Amino acid sequence: MITSIQKENILEAPFVKEMCEATFNMWRLGWDERNGGNISYLLTKEEVSKYLDVNQVKRTLQLQFPVAELANKYFIVTGSGKYFKNVNGDPKNTLGIVKVDETGNAIHIIWGLEDGSNPTSELPSHFMSHIARLKVDSNHRIIMHNHATNIIAMTFTHDLDEANFTKTLWQMCTECIVVFPDAVGILPWMVPGTDAIGQKTAEKMKEHRLVLWPHHGIFGAGTTMDETFGLIETAEKAAQIYTIIGDPSKIKQTISDEELDELAKAFNVEPKVGILAV
């Protein structure tokens, strides 16, 4: 009996197309110079099985940081050292589909990264953040990191207190409090790519879908590519306005705490406690 089932072309998979489009847009917006930025996207076995035999392992990589909570889960990830500018034209070398093994101590590459490259250097921050977000949101799927220009600029010119920073962003455009009522988390400056920054990022991800790495960039979490992209885009737009204003002493009027509160009520969102003085 012939049991082999015809698989569809993986390059036509919606999740591959979404990765190509998101990376290209981030590069186009100037947020991902050179090999800056990384994305990981949680996939279901059913989604992947439509295109691949999930038991055909190409390579296995040991993890320095066990992720038992992600055992048997599938992700499509950007590759380490890959330029976002090039993903759309070369998905099979710049993207990879990985399955976390049944212990959480290793990952199996089942597609992509064909030139022998590895998943993103920020895999600890991605995996630990997925674990944190899945605990608070069962629909969570995406972790996205980039070097959003004005967010980085603002980490030089604004103090790094989370409540102060968030309130300034909320004041810069009316949409902000509606899009990220959960506020931004901010780490101290740390060396990227390490388990330590992964742990700190994930701790912040318990309460925030946006986490800033001062003088480096931003992490965003969400249930879809569009939502996660839009979250970062909105914070970046607010930071751009702050940076265009330049000298905060030039500000003649702003959105008051009462107005921000009114806005939150009108849009049915709960602003993080301790930011608005109302």
CB of 269 to ligand 2HA, least distance (A): 30
Contact 86, 23 (CB under 8 A): no
Token readout for 173 is 């455009």
User: Is 140 annotated as contributing to ligand binding?
Assistant: no
Residue type, 91: P
Q: Which residue is nearest to Zn ion (CB)?
A: 217
Nearer to Zn ion, 181 or 217 (CB): 217
Q: Binding to ligand 2HA by residue 271, rule CB under 6 A?
A: no
Query: Considering CB distances under 5 to 8 angstroms, the limit depending on partner class, which of Zn ion, ligand 2HA, none binds residue 121?
Result: ligand 2HA
Which residues, 88 to 107, sit near Zn ion by CB under 5 A?
none
Beta strands 142-146; 184-186: pairing state: unpaired
Nearer to Zn ion, 145 or 167 (CB): 145
What's the distance, Cα to Cα, between the start and end of the chain in Å?
71
Nearer to ligand 2HA, 18 or 122 (CB): 122
Which residues, 181 to 210, sit near ligand 2HA by CB under 6 A?
192
Nearer to ligand 2HA, 38 or 243 (CB): 38
CB of 178 to ligand 2HA, least distance (A): 28
Q: Binding to ligand 2HA by residue 86, rule CB under 6 A?
A: no
User: Is 147 annotated as contributing to ligand binding?
Assistant: yes
Contact 79, 117 (CB under 8 A): yes
Please give the Cα distance from 96 to 112 (Å, whole number). 4
Q: Binding to ligand 2HA by residue 37, rule CB under 6 A?
A: yes
Q: Binding to ligand 2HA by residue 122, rule CB under 6 A?
A: yes
Contact 150, 240 (CB under 8 A): yes
CB of 219 to ligand 2HA, least distance (A): 10
Q: Binding to ligand 2HA by residue 36, rule CB under 6 A?
A: yes
Q: Binding to ligand 2HA by residue 38, rule CB under 6 A?
A: yes
Contact 207, 185 (CB under 8 A): yes
Please give the Cα distance from 91 to 8 (Å, whole number). 16
Please give the Cα distance from 272 to 260 (Å, whole number). 12
- Give the DSSP letter of residue 187: P
Q: How many residues does the chain have?
A: 278
- Give the DSSP letter of residue 192: T
Residue ranges that bind ligand 2HA, judged by CB under 6 A? 35-38, 121-122, 145, 192
Binding positions for Zn(2+) are 145, 147, 216
